[in-house]
A and B are shown apart, each in its own frame.
Chain A
Amino acid sequence: MSHDPRVPGGSTESLEEEIAAARLEATSVLIVVLDRDARILKFNSACERATGYLAEEMVGESVFRLIPEDQLHDVEAVFRELRDTGRSSLHENDWLAKAGARRRIAWSNAAVRDSRGSVEQVIGTGIDVSELHASESRRRESELRLAGIVASAMDAIVTADEQQRIVLFNPAAEQMFGRTSAEVMSQPLDILIPEQFRAVHRAHIDRFARSAQTSRRMGRLGRVQGLRANGEEFPVEAAISKTSSESGTLLTAILRDVTEQDRAAETTRLLASIVRSSDDAILGTDRDGRILTWNPAAQEIYGYSLHEIEGESLTSLVPEEVQDALRELLDQARQGRTVGHVETVGLRKDGRRFDVSLGVSPRRDGTGAIAGASVIARDVSERKNLERRLRQTEELAALATLVTGIAHDIGTPMNVILGYTDMLARSLRDEKNLERIRIIKEQVERVTRLIQSLMNFARPQRETPRLLRLEDVAERALGLIGETARKRGITIERAFCETPRVRAQGERLERAFLDLFVNAGDAMPQGGTLRVATRALRDGVEIRIEDTGTGIAPDSLERIFEPFYTTKPRGKGTGLGLLVTRGIVVEHGGTIDVQSELGKGACFAIWLPREVPGGARGDGAGPD
């Protein structure tokens, strides 16, 4: 090699070498030259670009610095092999770039021998295949992943070619249709579809295959029917997608057997419609007894809308005295026990009470844990009222028979007593004996009055029912006690509404009211307030007669409608007044209820239907 005058410093490199070096720099091919100890002699710009290291940094360094730990062993072996044998080789390994990333390089290695024939240098020429490698490995990975998904999918996956021949049938599909993949391979899709749907489905799929759409949910387009190997048809929800490649279009359907869902949905719909159309209030609560659901009957019975009652405690649907008992029922439900047919008292939004039969059972969530309670409430007030009225009517009928007999048998002996007493009186002159006679007569009169009361009750003088307003009747009765009330310091309060007229026997009703007014007055010897209120209800009218008197003891409260039961002083009350009153109310098809607290007064509520059952009774016909 001669000295080149153009190169100062006496470079020994030839022009060819310079050109070669320039080429080496310009190429995208990585070129690295190593000595026998794998130290880098040359590191071209492609190497710099791939690794981020500059040639100055790398020349003189071992090439193994660039090799990741996990590949070092293999790469050293490749280097030794080449150095010791001089045989060219191809291999791929990673280089660690300065920033830490791996670059994948495909190498073609060659040995440079010295004059003695031993390997002096190793030249590696490489191509950075990182990008290629990454996309390839991604593709392979994604294929593997897809295959895994297809194989393990819960949904059936069926792929067909353009001729609608099956090319893929996953295990879930095998199970769904009862056919093996081998059995259906290359078979038309038709074998999976009931005959009557085949034409439609085929057209449908054809249209989709030709369309520009790539996927579509078929479930929304109506239920697709599937056909199992055993001939059973079943509902399927399907999604279909399309992939086009050089080899043609593939259609993939993902199918879900919705027999169970259908059944469950049907059950749910059925249950929902039962709940909606039930005459019973059906409601759900959370664990704390707060109301979550509320059917239309609940609204009808209790008067609250869901909006008004949602989140409120179940106990707000019963009067205070029943709340503890209801909490007890809820406790039972929380402990997983069902309690049914508990007859108690319900409370409507307007404050009215009613007889209710409650069933409380645990409500479970999807996992079976107790999430609250389900409550079924039936308004049994009508039945209860009917039972009560029937019982009362029967009682009254039996009593009437008894009373009539007694009255008849008492009348004549009383007549004899009275007659002889009169005769005696005529013959007596001394005052003392005349006074005795007077007392006898007075006592006979007392017995007579008692019989009169009994007879009024047992054989009432019926009137012809007329349409009348409760307020007018009450006003007439109030007029009769007005003076007495004033003298006793009793204030009369009226809370009258424009109630609809009822068909009733005015005088009998007046008598009933009067009896209650008199009782109220008797309960307020020190004065007080008598409040008479009327109001219209859905099915009738109500009159409430309230006093602020002594009240009725709880044990008496149960007995006040019994014949001959009285709390008045001996000789004052007959024990028949309330019985007669109740008789009159019952006669009108109504009910009478009483509430009282000792020392706070009493409240009698009379409810009368708008039309008396058999309201024509007595109309036009005379007394019987």
Chain B
Amino acid sequence: MTPCTLIVDDDPTNAEMLAEGLREAGWNARAATGVDEALSRMHETWHSLVVSDVRMYDGDGFDLLRAIRDSEHPVPVILMSSFGTGATPQQALAAGAYGYLRKPFALGDLLALVSRAHGEMS
């Protein structure tokens, strides 16, 4: 199965930008603009990795993380958040996230994490 990363952010510009960045680097990537959309996309298609914002209009990145972790086929989840969301790297890792990125981050940091995750999977 071709690895494909799902970017989840209720800010569509950011979600699209990150997906674009991954694709330009040679990865498969799609964007979803909320928890609900992410869950339905994952229901339709298998995704090898999820990169999700923490605080979104229709839910919380941590809830999404738990849902994926508790599903039949769990995949790694990378959480990202702005300052002021109350989320810390420690909390993210403790909740079972594969990685954590604080916005704003360099595209290179995301690419490094994504490639490491996929490398570990294969």
Contacts and interface: CB of A to CB of B under 8 A. Distances in A.
A and B associate in one complex = yes
Interface of A: 403-412, 414-420, 422-423, 426, 444, 448, 451-452, 454-455, 458-459, 623
A623 B20 CA distance: 37
B3 interface: no
Interface string B12-30: 0110011011001000000
B18 A419 contact: yes
Nearest to B110: A419
Given A415-B14, A455-B84, A423 B104 contact: no
A411 B108 contact: no
Nearest to A444: B104
Given A411-B103, A415-B105, A423 B82 contact: no
Instruction: Give the 6 A-B residue pairs with the shortest CB-CB distance, closest first.
Output: A411-B82, A414-B104, A422-B107, A411-B103, A407-B83, A407-B84
Interface string B48-92: 000001010000000000000000000000001111111010100
Q: How large is the interface on B (under 10, 10 to 19, 20 to 34, 35 or more residues)?
A: 20 to 34
B65 to A, nearest CB: 19
Nearest to A458: B84
Given A415-B14, A422-B107, A422-B108, A459 B24 contact: no
Contacts of A416: 11, 13-14, 17
A408 B82 contact: yes
B85 A420 contact: no
A396 to B, nearest CB: 15
Nearest to A441: B106
B104 A426 contact: no
Nearest to B108: A422
A496 to B, nearest CB: 36
B83 A452 contact: yes
Given A404-B84, A408-B83, A410-B82, A422 B14 contact: no
A411 B20 contact: no
Contacts, number: 77
Nearest to A622: B90
16 contacts: A403-B84, A404-B84, A408-B85, A411-B102, A411-B103, A411-B104, A412-B82, A415-B14, A416-B11, A418-B105, A419-B104, A422-B21, A423-B17, A448-B104, A459-B83, A459-B84
A400 to B, nearest CB: 10
Contacts of A409: 82
A459 B102 CA distance: 15
A317 to B, nearest CB: 49
Contacts of A411: 81-84, 102-104
Contacts of A459: 83-84, 86
The residue in B84, B90, B102 that gathers the most chain A C-beta atoms within 10 A of its C-beta is B84
B85 to A, nearest CB: 6
Interface in B94-109: 102-108
Contacts of A417: 104
A404 B11 CA distance: 18
Given A423-B24, A426-B24, A415 B84 contact: no
A411 B107 CA distance: 14
A407 B102 CA distance: 12
Contacts of B102: 411
B83 A405 contact: no
Nearest to B85: A408
A412 B21 contact: no
B91 to A, nearest CB: 9
Contact of B17 (A420, A452, A455): A420
Nearest to B80: A415
A158 B85 CA distance: 97
Nearest to A455: B83
Contacts of A403: 84
A464 to B, nearest CB: 15
A406 B83 CA distance: 9
A182 to B, nearest CB: 101
B90 to A, nearest CB: 8
A544 to B, nearest CB: 34
B75 to A, nearest CB: 23
Contacts of A404: 83-84
B106 to A, nearest CB: 6
The residue in B21, B53, B88, B107 that gathers the most chain A C-beta atoms within 10 A of its C-beta is B107
